[in-house]
Structure 1
Amino acid sequence: MQRHSWWQRLHWPEYGSELLGTAFLVFIALSAVTFNLGTDSPLAVVLPNSGVRRLITGLLLAGSGPLVAISPLGKLSGAHLNPAVSLAFWLQGKMHQHDLVSYLASQFLGAVLGAGLAVLIWRERAASVHNGVTAPGAGYPIWSVFLIEMGLTCLLILAIFLFVSSHRLMHWTPLMTWLLMAFIYWQVAPISGSSLNPARSFGPALVSWFWRDQWVYILASPIGALLAVGLFRSLSLVGIHDVLTAKLFHAPRYRCIFKNVKAPQLNTDQDGKLIALRERN
């Protein structure tokens, strides 16, 4: 029994939900970019202005994450869908180490599946936007792209922490992330591709086998997550409390596998049976 104890601690439904959610996010993101910005875009006929089309694209692709968050998949896993987000919650003491590793694996695998499905379905259309690969814009130095990805990831995670640390704001977190990410994509996509998500960049890069400058997207966002955690902890000096939940949309009647959760949630016994609805301190 001791030999299999590590296996029993794993939370496969949550990992599967995170995998499917990340696959959906990447598929929708690549599909939106393909149809709105790719060759023979039907939207280009109606809206020739590339800035307007980029804003619409941002609203569409940024909406995929919040949709997952409010779905049963997201209510179960927390809908991190981003290794930087999971890393930030772990650094804040909200995740077990084995769950962090499993979430990261699920996110990267889900991104590969989502990117592969988008390329398989859209083929030439996807190829016209380089299969959604994130890359620095022409003429922008690599250091500026790194700083933008790092800084905006820090902003995103800090905003998430501020919302999920408030009972009043926590249920509005998906809406906030949708609007924030849409605005970021609209303004920053021509410069860095506005990934803010190592898995989102890794999936298309692996499918296309394109690795030039991809180290930027793998390293910048985790560093941004580390900065966000440090900034959030410094806010405790001015009265900001701890993160209440590691879910972007906390539904009390869904199981919660995270640590130090202070939002109302179900309590279960060792067999997973419902005991009571309570708030864990």
Structure 2
Amino acid sequence: MTFVDYVNRPPGPLGTVLNYTIKLPWTLKNAFGSAVSGPPAPAGTTDAGKPLIPSEEEDEALKAISDMISSSVNEETGLMTISVTAGGPVLASDLTKSFLDHFTTRVREIRTEKVRERLKFVVGRFEEAEQELETAEEQLAQFLERNQNPTTATLQFRRDRLRRQVTFKEQLYSKLQSQLTQTRLDLQRRQPVVTVVEEPVPPMKRSSPQRTLVVLLNLILGGGIGVVGAFVRAFFSRVNEEEGREKLEEIRENLIPDRWRTSTIG
């Protein structure tokens, strides 16, 4: 499974229930955001210089990977620290290795871009010079086969001219061959070296969620809610008792005649 397929895989039954219950606000936000944002933005350029537009699945993978990878550089030592947070230890390790491979390749391309362009030009010119030398040698060979012992001035002049062309093409070929060798050595010498201080390995412990902290927070939160609930319940119970006492007194006043209360009091 590629990372694009991993990100865009359909959720399981539990994930579907969570997406439309607890995570419903985030589900609606993502759906509304994708509808408003429009097509994906260019993720780079092709070799021809045209913008590279990712598909919707690739755009989702780019958003996911940007939230999973973080990096920092120590200005004093020049060391770069790469951290990857994923849903599993093996996935985090594999993503880190892939990131390092792409990072090393990209750094090499940037640092050797000019040398590689010069090498491409020299290779093309060297191939042209090689073809021109072969053509000049064939022309000289055909002339000598037809005129083994040229006696006229015209034939001798043409023979000398063909020889000069072969000599010139040989010198150009030799010079370009030297430049090609030197450019290749320069490319090898300019290759940047990315040293990996610590190889990415699957972590032994997870960074999140911290279950102990979650349990303690839930206990504290539950205890606080319980205490508040008890106070609220006691308050409403007291209010209900006072209301009941007032209603009972009102009923008593309405049912007992005034003379009975007067005689009783007297």
Q: TM-score, structure 2 length as denominator?
A: 0.22
Larger Cα-atom Rg: 2
Q: Which has the higher contact order (CA 8 A, sep 6+)?
A: 1
